[in-house]
């Protein structure tokens, strides 16, 4: 097929069947950090829909690293097998499996988004595994005016987080994942180290941009030491933080180069995540970051952010602006986005191989019947 969005792409020894990725999207539906049937079905439907890579939601490397009590985790061995079940299903459908390892820092222990606050009844708290805890951060600065003031991390705290990322990486390996994405975006812990507004440290991890980059780079190097050399490591970053005199694209170019030197294979280019940030979402509003970092840092990139139509996604790849397109809300709205895109971009093709075999033959028959009737009624040229 001529549209390069459907061409395979290889990172290290891993080949993806196409360039379309399902973004890590928090579901706030785990109990004790353990994946359940919701996660299997939620993620599995993207594999059935033809995605080349599906990345599991932000998965905390420690209990205190969760955004909420409903987040997934990889801080204990009991969390491995439910994730392995998901990985095995994705693989059975020709889809590769990624996982985003994360620590929320000062944005931890927050309410489930659709509740608008800690509104759980006593019965719900017991059933949902409700927990709350004091957050940690680079500095004792709250995320916003109504947020809890976090505890500033000392050397022992930093060492624990390094060890937590290493242990979670080893568990991800045992679960069979193909890709790890390091979460250094959206105002979470590693992004908090990077941003001057949230990092007021006076030691080697604060002050200059080089010092503020130090801890995220150490975490990337820690993961790379444990993660198989033949498997790719991605990193998601906020290319701009949207704050005056804050983190900018030029900083991100330097960071991307440094990540590359530590074994990161692709930069997933997002933005924002800080209270008071000025970010104006619009179609393709972050694609320019992926293009700039790919060109200037000489590293593979992924474009994400309100990419909704097949034509938009195809143009990003064909124009060399990014190596992958990553869909979030568009994927939630249409888990079959890739198979629908293939049909839209090449309506003359009779290739339904991206559909699961249990489905493709039936969809082909439906399209043939509808096409014949449209031609007969003069609605389609023959």
Main-chain phi, psi angles of 351, to 5 degrees? -95, 110
Of 88, 20, 11, the C-alpha closest to 309 is 20
| Catalytic annotation, pick one of 28, 69, 188, 205 | 188
Whether 90 and 97 have beta carbons less than 8 Å apart is answered as yes
CA distance 99 to 43: 11
Residue 231 DSSP class: S
289 is catalytic: no
Q: What is the largest CA-CA distance in the chain?
A: 76
* Cα→Cα distances 354→21, 238, 361, Å: 14, 32, 11
3-state secondary structure 107-121: HCCCCCHHHCCCCCC
Query: What does the angle CA 361 – CA 14 – CA 308 come to, to the nearest 5 degrees?
Result: 55
Q: At a CB cut-off of 8 Å and minimum separation 6, what does 30 contact?
A: 36, 39, 70, 71, 72, 73
CA distance 251 to 259: 12
Q: Which residues are catalytic?
A: 188
């Amino acid at each position: 097929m001529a549209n390069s969005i459907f061409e395979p792409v290889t990172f290290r020894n891993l080949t993806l069947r196409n360039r379309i990725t399902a973004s890590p999207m928090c579901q706030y539906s785990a109990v004790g950090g353990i994946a359940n049937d919701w996660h299997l079905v939620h993620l599995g439907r993207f594999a059935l829909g033809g995605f080349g890579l599906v990345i599991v939601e932000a998965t905390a490397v420690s209990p205190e690293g969760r955004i909420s009590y409903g987040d997934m985790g990889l801080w204990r061995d009991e969390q491995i097998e439910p994730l392995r079940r998901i990985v095995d299903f994705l693989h059975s459908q020709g889809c590769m499996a990624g996982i985003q390892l994360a620590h929320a820092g000062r944005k931890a222990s927050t309410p489930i988004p659709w509740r608008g606050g800690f509104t759980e009844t006593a019965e719900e708290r017991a059933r949902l595994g409700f927990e709350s805890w004091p957050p940690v951060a680079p500095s004792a600065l709250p995320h916003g005016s109504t947020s809890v003031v976090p505890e500033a991390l000392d050397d022992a705290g930093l060492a624990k987080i390094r060890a937590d990322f290493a242990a979670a990486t080893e568990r991800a390996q045992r679960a069979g994942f193909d890709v790890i994405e390091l979460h250094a975006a959206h105002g979470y812990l590693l992004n908090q180290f990077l941003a001057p507004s949230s990092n007021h440290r006076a030691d080697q991890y604060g002050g200059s941009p080089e010092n503020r980059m130090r801890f995220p780079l150490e975490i990337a190097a820690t993961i790379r030491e444990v993660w198989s050399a033949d498997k790719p490591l991605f990193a998601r970053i906020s290319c701009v933080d949207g704050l005056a005199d804050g983190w900018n694209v030029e900083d991100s170019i330097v960071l991307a180069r440094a990540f590359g030197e530590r074994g990161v294979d692709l930069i997933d280019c997002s933005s924002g995540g800080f209270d008071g940030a000025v970010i104006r979402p619009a179609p393709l509003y972050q694609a320019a970051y992926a293009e700039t970092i790919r060109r200037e840092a000489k590293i593979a990139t992924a474009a994400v952010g309100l990419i909704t139509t097949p034509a938009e996604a195809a143009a990003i790849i064909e124009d060399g602006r990014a190596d992958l397109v990553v869909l979030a809300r568009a994927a939630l709205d249409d888990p079959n986005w890739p198979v629908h895109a293939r049909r839209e971009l090449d309506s003359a093709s009779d290739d339904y191989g991206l559909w699961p075999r249990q489905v493709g033959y039936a969809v082909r028959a439906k399209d043939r019947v509808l096409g014949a009737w449209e031609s007969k009624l003069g609605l389609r040229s023959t």
